[in-house]
Chain A
Amino acid sequence: MSVAAPRPVSIPPVAARRRRTDRIMRGVLLVMTLIALVPLVLVVYYLLKQGLGAISWDFFTTDPTGRFLGDPGGIRSAIIGTILIVGLATLIAVPIGIGVALYLVEYGKKSWFAQAVRYFVDVMTGVPSIVFGLFIYIVLVLTGVGGTFAGWKGSVALALLGLPIVTRSAEVVLALVPNSLREAALALGAPRWRVVFRIVLPTALPGLITGSLLAVARAAGETAPLLFTAFAVNGTTWDLGQQMNSLPIQIFNDVRQPQANIVERAWGAALTLVAMILILTLIARAIQRRSRYA
């Protein structure tokens, strides 16, 4: 260690070896962070490069023809199917998910039962999506409730997948509602259910919407649960009781075809799907940024 020039306080300079290690390791961390972003850049680049070519007015307004030669058709039925299936899944998952979160925050709190529910909700977030699909296949398709494959059965599978995500985010947001608000309402004589519906839920609303939208965005991209619940058809249907096409399934089936124009449709559908998910995510984030809590 060399003797430093006179300083006001005599702190010995950091040894060159330690300084070098510091610089190198900082560099390594930066480089690895950049590496983490490479796949994102590449995926977006290829989606735009390959997907934009496929997109046209006809692409969105025609159904897949199902022909292997000639015009493969567009993805209208897949877009409509995805919107309907995911919409119904949202209607199922969001009220139940928020209800469970309300129980945990307002009633269950730290009781053993609430802890058990919390634990299993966490466990549910880790269950692979295909297992949800299998479960719905066993419970709803094999038993033949309302026919075999149907759009609404896919919705139930996606709802199961989204439920724990909604509950976890809602619990965090509901817990952030200040207790003083609850206490003020109770002190004014409001019954518990009024406190919940007039104070707690409105206060937490932006956060609840954000969490729900993120769960919907996650569910919209899932393929595996739809494989053997909603199945796939080429034609457009508005009836959730029928078999239904969806974007992820359309992509999954198209990827495995050798024809270049079918693969091109897969890229176009993928771009459409990612754009839809991205819009949902951005809306969710925008709502989150504007809210006071969470």
Chain B
Amino acid sequence: MEAGTLARSGRSAPLERPLRARLPDRVLQWTLTGLAAGVLVLIGFFFVRLYGEASPVFKQYGVLDYVFSNEWVPSQNEFGALPLIVGTLITSVIALALGVPIAVASSLYITELAPSRVKQPLTVLVELLAAVPSVVYGLWGVFVLIPRLKPAEEWFNDTFSFLPFVGGPVAGPNYFITGLILAIMILPIVSAISREVMATVPVEHKEAALALGATRWEMIRMAVLPYSRAGITGAAMLGLGRAIGETIAATLLIGNAADIGKSIFSQGYTLAAVIANEFGEAASDPTHRAALIAAGLVLFVLTLLINGLARYFVIRGERATARRVPKGMAG
């Protein structure tokens, strides 16, 4: 820079810039720090405002009563969120049970077995599943899945009626269909994170297994899976977070009946679906609106907990190789 300015700044170090030249640096640093701090403030504000708007319901019914009461009848001013919470959990468990094994298996196939020519196309195809919007899955579920799967569901229901949660009437929209669509929707994220974690398995471990005479499958079972177990757990939990919060597809496919269904083929309700479905009519009724916002708050807290846990597992799975921050960039 100009030598003259350096000479004039008496007491400061010879190479220090004058204040005027340093100013943009300070401005940039504080602007960016401010933006980052904004994120934290936003999350805090988020929680406070949701709680504030939901508090009338908590005051009137008590938090525990709201969460564990089994009556959701807006017309009679009864707001117990238990059927919604149970519905959310049932559909999410179905989604995980169907989605995670397929996601993990496909990740294993793509990372360990697939010929290198098809790896990239397969990855892109699995990721395209995430490009389809929730409402389109809902549309497809309503007009294709529900009618087409009805016979199969009825057959399963009759044949295996001795199992728990199976038997009784089969509704068109039900827990199972919702869980199935949710399974499809969480597949890309579970698969993406599983692939990322599996890519961190040290080649030495795999080669050691193969050198000891292991077959490909034994190599996967003994080297890849144990190493990536924590990461896969984290991926599954991120999937769970997605499944719990998924709204529109669930609203279209769950049947929107605020009772705890007797079987997985009964109609039900989820926390997210009740908000989407009843908000229009609730806008004019403060208690109803507060009850729905409370449902959103429960959803928010649930996903915060699950995502926190998921992150813990993913980081534990990735720590060994610390791939996330490339070397030399950390300090």
**Do the two chains belong together in a single complex?**
yes
Contact between chains at A18 and B300 (CB < 8 Å): no
Cβ-based interface call for B10 (8 A): no
Contact between chains at B307 and A274 (CB < 8 Å): no
Cβ-based interface call for B33 (8 A): yes
Q: Please give, as numbers and ranges, the residues of chain B lying within 8 Å of A42 by CB-CB distance.
A: 140, 144
Known A30-B113, A120-B39: A127·B303 in contact at CB below 8 Å: yes
Q: Within the assembled complex, what's the spacing in Å between the Cα atoms of A102 and B108? A: 35
Contact between chains at B139 and A266 (CB < 8 Å): yes
Per-residue CB proximity of A28-65 to B under 8 Å, as 1/0? 11101101110110110011001000000000000000
Considering only residues 98-113 of chain B, those with a C-beta below 8 Å from chain A are: 101-103, 105-106, 108-110, 113
Cβ-based interface call for B43 (8 A): yes
Contact between chains at A129 and B247 (CB < 8 Å): yes
Considering only residues 290-331 of chain B, those with a C-beta below 8 Å from chain A are: 292-293, 296, 299-300, 303-304, 306-308, 310-311, 324-326, 328-331
Contact between chains at B296 and A189 (CB < 8 Å): no
Chain A, interface residues (CB within 8 Å), range: 35 or more
Q: Within the assembled complex, what's the spacing in Å between the Cα atoms of A36 and B114? A: 15
Chain B's nearest CB lies how many Å from the CB of A186?
11
| Contact segment of A69-77, A203-211, A235-243, A248-256 | A248-256
Q: Please give, as numbers and ranges, the residues of chain B lying within 8 Å of A19 by CB-CB distance.
A: 215
Known A193-B25, A196-B28: A128·B272 in contact at CB below 8 Å: yes
Q: Within the assembled complex, what's the spacing in Å between the Cα atoms of A200 and B217? A: 44
Known A32-B102, A33-B109, A119-B311: A138·B136 in contact at CB below 8 Å: no
How many residues of B are in contact with the other chain, CB < 8 A? 97
| Contact segment of B46-54, B55-63, B72-80, B199-207 | B46-54
Cβ-based interface call for B252 (8 A): yes
Chain B interface, DSSP helix/strand/loop, else mixed: helix
Chain B's nearest CB lies how many Å from the CB of A256?
8
Contact between chains at B244 and A128 (CB < 8 Å): yes
Cβ-closest chain A residue relative to B105: A32
Contact between chains at B276 and A191 (CB < 8 Å): no
Cβ-based interface call for B7 (8 A): no
| Contact segment of B122-130, B151-159, B161-169, B259-267 | B122-130
Known A42-B144, A47-B136: A126·B126 in contact at CB below 8 Å: no
Known A21-B215, A128-B244, A129-B247: A270·B135 in contact at CB below 8 Å: yes
Cβ-based interface call for B21 (8 A): yes
Cβ-based interface call for B208 (8 A): no
Q: Please give, as numbers and ranges, the residues of chain A lying within 8 Å of B306 by CB-CB distance.
A: 126
Known A32-B105, A39-B129, A248-B133: A122·B311 in contact at CB below 8 Å: yes
Contact between chains at A40 and B125 (CB < 8 Å): yes
Chain B's nearest CB lies how many Å from the CB of A273?
6
Contact between chains at B102 and A22 (CB < 8 Å): no
Cβ contact of A255, chosen from B42, B139, B187, B246, cutoff 8 A: B139
Cβ-based interface call for B1 (8 A): yes
Known A32-B105, A46-B144: A134·B293 in contact at CB below 8 Å: yes
Known A36-B187, A130-B247: A123·B36 in contact at CB below 8 Å: no
Per-residue CB proximity of B128-151 to A under 8 Å, as 1/0? 111111111111101110000000
Q: Please give, as numbers and ranges, the residues of chain B lying within 8 Å of A87 by CB-CB distance.
A: none
Q: Within the assembled complex, what's the spacing in Å between the Cα atoms of A131 and B301? A: 11
Cβ-closest chain A residue relative to B136: A270
Contact between chains at B279 and A227 (CB < 8 Å): yes
Contact between chains at B217 and A224 (CB < 8 Å): no
Cβ-closest chain A residue relative to B293: A134
Chain A's nearest CB lies how many Å from the CB of B70?
23
Q: Within the assembled complex, what's the spacing in Å between the Cα atoms of A38 and B87? A: 26
Known A46-B144, A106-B32, A126-B238: A224·B24 in contact at CB below 8 Å: no
Contact between chains at A134 and B329 (CB < 8 Å): no
Known A26-B216, A109-B331: A251·B21 in contact at CB below 8 Å: no
Per-residue CB proximity of A98-138 to B under 8 Å, as 1/0? 01101111111110011011011111111111110011011
Q: Please give, as numbers and ranges, the residues of chain B lying within 8 Å of A116 by CB-CB distance.
A: 40
Contact between chains at A28 and B133 (CB < 8 Å): no
Contact between chains at B32 and A99 (CB < 8 Å): yes
Contact between chains at B139 and A267 (CB < 8 Å): yes
Cβ-based interface call for A281 (8 A): yes
Q: Please give, as numbers and ranges, the residues of chain B lying within 8 Å of A110 by CB-CB distance.
A: 330-331
Contact between chains at A109 and B330 (CB < 8 Å): yes
Q: Please give, as numbers and ranges, the residues of chain B lying within 8 Å of A107 by CB-CB distance.
A: 29, 32-33
Contact between chains at B241 and A126 (CB < 8 Å): yes
Cβ-based interface call for A221 (8 A): yes
Q: Please give, as numbers and ranges, the residues of chain B lying within 8 Å of A29 by CB-CB distance.
A: 105-106, 108-109, 113
Known A19-B215, A22-B218, A117-B40: A37·B125 in contact at CB below 8 Å: yes
Chain B's nearest CB lies how many Å from the CB of A8?
17
Known A135-B50, A221-B135, A227-B279: A46·B32 in contact at CB below 8 Å: no
A/B interface sample: 18 pairs, CB < 8 A: A43-B136, A43-B140, A99-B32, A103-B33, A107-B32, A109-B330, A109-B331, A130-B247, A131-B50, A131-B245, A131-B300, A138-B53, A191-B24, A221-B134, A223-B248, A255-B135, A255-B252, A263-B143
What 6 new A-B contacts, CB under 8 Å, besides A131-B303, A134-B296? A25-B220, A40-B125, A104-B36, A109-B330, A227-B276, A273-B136
On A, residues with C-beta under 8 Å from B are: 11, 14, 18-19, 21-22, 25-26, 28-30, 32-33, 35-37, 39-40, 42-43, 46-47, 50, 96, 99-100, 102-110, 113-114, 116-117, 119-131, 134-135, 137-139, 142, 160, 163, 167, 172, 175-176, 179, 189, 191-193, 196, 217-218, 220-224, 227-228, 248, 251-252, 255-256, 263, 266-267, 270, 273-274, 277-278, 281, 285
